Structure 1
């Protein structure tokens, strides 16, 4: 059974968002839908409504959901005993306009999470910026629930948020419960496999498709805000001792992420655990069981646990994000 698995490449799933744009067409080879604003490309998604499909090889057309059901141990290794679906959701976001001011619940806030879902901790890596780029992350120090409720009444919510102007390569960690939004940037996002978002404020705008404002979830948002999450800024990368030619950007209970830059052969993946590779710049290839597997800008490869570690051979220089799932993750269905 396990011999059927190989490095798996997935087709991106595009999502209309009123705040989106057209910049993802420079990042991905799959054409964007007509002329509507595309805010998100879901790169690897094990969701009932949007399941990623394999684009090549013997498993072409199979979804990650089907593969997780058929090959749980081969894909996830030891983590398979804890997981009934792939635990992360990966995206590119084109935030042409600013998103709603929003918050996501934490894993222990079960009353606000649909059955089968988790909380949502996420992180961003900034890929492109513009003159109007802005990130709001966390509250200003000292902001209370009362302050925030008054700001909602006065349409001044953004005045209570910490903000900064992002630069390309900035990495920002958004713990669940953090009030946040961003605009004027293209980012890569890694998150828990959850699609629960509570909008606190949406800049008094209408959705062009409906002519109406989008629904807000003020009470739920207020209930899920962690008032200790204040003044969040970019993290400081750490040179990795574990991965060659890499810096570690994130290391938490949900995901570990390294940025690899190399113009010479470099090892990717780990033995007996799954790893996801996301190519940000350049291209390269890996050999597995006498087959070559290429990866280029905008593409995603899942290396199942059974595949183990491979040597990546860059064509010129390549920039990759390598994402692993900590073994301690025991993310069961809620």
Structure 2
């Protein structure tokens, strides 16, 4: 195994055109948005062949997550290396200025719908910005049938899908098999399984300028994997684990990932031993201290603490708010 230098890893964000996007991610990533069109996604941490994240600083600059895992699985993944061949999470900022398609992702219970090398897809949203008109759709209203979902339209979406007006600081867990959509002026951090499988039920009659027409739907596949027992989805009620001097709330918790919101003006420990941890700064700033060096974090910054780094110290510059994300044990 390679003897890789140990330090918190920063990656270049990967901006993605989406017809429903906007330009607000310029406030969340540390590079200019490309072009002048709608940018809906910035991929922050991606171990995917089509869009691999590359280290942006330090002696490992230019290397992808896949290359680091190939050289030394234990360096990056630690005790997770026996379970995963690639980094198990995909992190994105989403700027959903229009409405995302009404869609569903399959669970691992539907292998015939999942291409080789992929997995099911459970995801979570951490709301960063929202407008009074913003909307989150998640889950089915009582009595909704598959036939009603097959014929969704602008006139029937609200009859079939539960929805609410989101507010910054809310968190939504969208298990695989849940029908969902969001948009009309919302920015979220999306934490998800490392999968890119989406089946669209309805696309709000969008016309994609790049396709010169509507995007394709996958109604039959979507109906196969929808959990029709799934009821109304509401924002997660955070679990407060500590209140003073560091406020630490568990905001997402499922078999695939856990996330905490941390608010503090005092230094604190971050990361865990022998497993990777992702840190996202959502307010204020500060620095992760490791090996006698400071690794600065401002709003929107993302750092991956490799398993080999273990626990580190975060020192806020005044007051700061962080998200701490990792993969739970089996």
**TM above 0.5:** yes
What residue number does 2:172 align with? 172
CA distance in 1, matches of 2:36, 2:261: 33
Q: How does 1:213-228 map to 2 (within 5 A)?
A: 213-228=214-229
C-alpha change, 1:228 and 1:242, in structure 2 (3 Å) is: farther
Deviation string for 1:133-168 (max 9, x for gaps)? 00000111121213323x437962442100100011
Instruction: Note the 1:149-188 alignment, pairs <5 A.
Output: 149=150, 151-152=151-152, 156-183=156-183, 184-188=185-189
Q: Distance in 1 between matches of 2:211 and 2:109?
A: 35
How much has 1:242 moved relative to structure 2? 11
- Alignment match, 1:135: 136
1:19-57 CA-to-partner distances (Å, cap 9, x unmatched) read 000000111121001111000000000001000010100
Question: Is the 8 Å Cα contact of residues 76 and 305 (structure 1) preserved in structure 2?
Answer: yes
CA distance in 2: counterparts of 1:112 and 1:155, whole angstroms = 29
Cross-structure match for 1:51: 52
CA distance in 2, matches of 1:10, 1:154: 39
- Deviation of the 1:293 alpha carbon: 1.3
How far apart are 1:209 and its partner, in Å? 1.8
Partner of 1:332: none
In structure 2, which of residues 296, 300, 303 is the aligned counterpart of residue 301 of structure 1?
303
For residue 324 of structure 1, what is the aligned residue in structure 2?
A: 326
Instruction: Show CA shifts across 1:257-309 (max 9, x none).
Output: 00011111011111111100011111111221222211111111000111011
Q: Deviations over 1:99-136 (max 9, x none)?
A: 10000000121111110000000000110011320000
- Residues 198 and 210 (structure 1), Cα distance of their counterparts in 2 relative to 1, 3 Å cut: same
Q: Is the 8 A contact 2:137 2:162 kept in 1?
A: yes
Q: What is the alpha-carbon distance in structure 1 between the residues aligned to residue 173 and residue 84 of structure 2?
A: 23
User: Does structure 2 conserve the Cα–Cα contact (< 8 Å) formed by 1:2 and 1:306?
Assistant: no
Extract unaligned runs of 5+ from structure 2: none
Distance 1:102 1:194 in 2: 15
2:104 counterpart of 1:111: no
Q: Given that residues 10 and 301 in structure 1 are in contact (C-alpha distance below 8 angstroms), is that contact kept between their aligned partners in structure 2?
A: yes
Deviation at 1:2, TM superposition (A): 4.1
SS at match of 2:132: strand
RMSD: 1.6
TM-score, normalised on structure 1? Answer: 0.94
Query: What is residue 34 of structure 1 aligned with on the other side?
Result: 35
Partner of 2:73: 72
- Which residue does the alignment assign to 2:8? 7
- Alpha-carbon distance between aligned partners in 2 of 1:131 and 1:18, rounded to the nearest angstrom: 21
Size of the alignment, in residue pairs? Answer: 327
- Check conservation: 2:123, 2:173, Cα contact below 8 A: yes
TM-score norm. by structure 2 comes to: 0.96
> SS of the residue aligned with 1:131?
coil
Q: CA deviation at 1:204?
A: 1.5
Once the two structures are overlaid, the 10-residue window that deviates more, 35-44 or 21-30, is: 21-30
CA distance in 1 between counterparts of 2:317 and 2:3 reads 30
Match of residue 266 from structure 2? 264
The answer for the alignment partner of 2:87 in structure 1 is 86
Aligned residue runs from structure 1 range 185-334, under 5 A: 185-240=186-241, 244-328=246-330
